[in-house]
Amino acid sequence: MLVYEPQTSDLSDWAQPLIHFENVGLRYGMGPEILRDLTFDVPKGSFQFLTGPSGAGKTTLLRLLFMSLQPTRGLIRSFGRDITRIPRAELPMLRRRVGIVFQDFRLLEHLTTYENVALPLRVRGKEEQSYKQDVIELLKWVGLGERINVLPPVLSGGEKQRVAIARALIDRPEILLADEPTGNVDPPMARRLLSLFLELNRLGTAVIIATHDLALMDQVDARRMILTDGRLDIYE
Ligand SMILES: Nc1ncnc2c1ncn2[C@@H]1O[C@H](COP(=O)(O)OP(=O)(O)OP(=O)(O)O)[C@@H](O)[C@H]1O
């Protein structure tokens, strides 16, 4: 269904991680350090779960990975660039290489389901005829074939979540970040969404799924990143 085409021309650096964290710390304002001494890589094409108790900092870490927060100390290199040195004007271009599913979905309320999902492609200047069938097919695949032309306010929480997932996947990002992407759906739909993430990963996208859902994690023998008290342990 999805055909992966690398969106970067720098294939020579395939061995470099997509994202590199070194001794990263993060505090909000004058508050305590929420994340401490995080050192890890996100390799190209990797698949990992990010887990830990509520309030441990998973969403905060996803925001750092999405470059919408700056670290208060340490180094983050994303796509080979030090994110503290990237001019603000260049950030949107870099973020287009990242697909993200926010916990609160962030759909545009005045656009239909179809238009929300097509938005990343429209922003990239693609002709509608080149993507229309892909958008419809993906929406059908996530069980929204009957909801293509409705506006977000009439969708259930689980339906909104699937629109947000379809929007994050449709442009075949180099990395997908998903915050509790199965939090509002039943177990069969959670398995279906997981198989979609795995398929995207098989086609080359690195995937990070933040979740509390042990049943979901048990279905895949994947790397686990566990945050506890602001520190990260990784189990390969
Ligand atoms: N904008 C903010 N300003 C100040 N503190 C914040 C802000 N956002 C998050 N925090 C605090 O940072 C800590 C980590 O929050 P975060 O949302 O990253 O955790 P989480 O692991 O994603 O939690 P959950 O599993 O409940 O979603 C919490 O103590 C939270 O109160």
3-state secondary structure 35-50: EEEEEEEECCCCEEEE
**For the whole prediction, is pTM greater than 0.95?**
no
Please give the pLDDT value at position 82.
Answer: 92
Residue 32 CB less than 6 A away from ligand 1: no
- Alpha-carbon gap, residue 92 to 95, rounded angstroms: 5
Q: Which of 175, 173, 171 is nearest to 131 (CA)?
A: 171
Residue 14 CB less than 6 A away from ligand 1: no
pLDDT in tens, 60-115: 999 999 999 999 999 999 999 999 888 888 888 899 899 999 888 999 999 999 99
Please give the pLDDT value at position 7.
Answer: 45
Residue 84 Cα, ligand 1 centroid: separation in angstroms? 22
- Alpha-carbon gap, residue 144 to 142, rounded angstroms: 6
Answer whether residue 34 shows pLDDT above 70.
yes
Q: Which of 73, 99, 97, 94 is nearest to 21 (CA)?
A: 73
Residue 55 Cα, ligand 1 centroid: separation in angstroms? 5
Strand partners, 26: 35
- Alpha-carbon gap, residue 53 to 100, rounded angstroms: 21
Grade residue 14 by pLDDT with cuts at 50, 70 and 90.
low
How large is the ipTM? 0.96
Q: Mean pLDDT for the chain?
A: 89
Residue 182 CB less than 6 A away from ligand 1: no
List the chain domain ranges: 108-171
Residue 230 CB less than 6 A away from ligand 1: no
Answer whether residue 20 shows pLDDT above 70.
yes
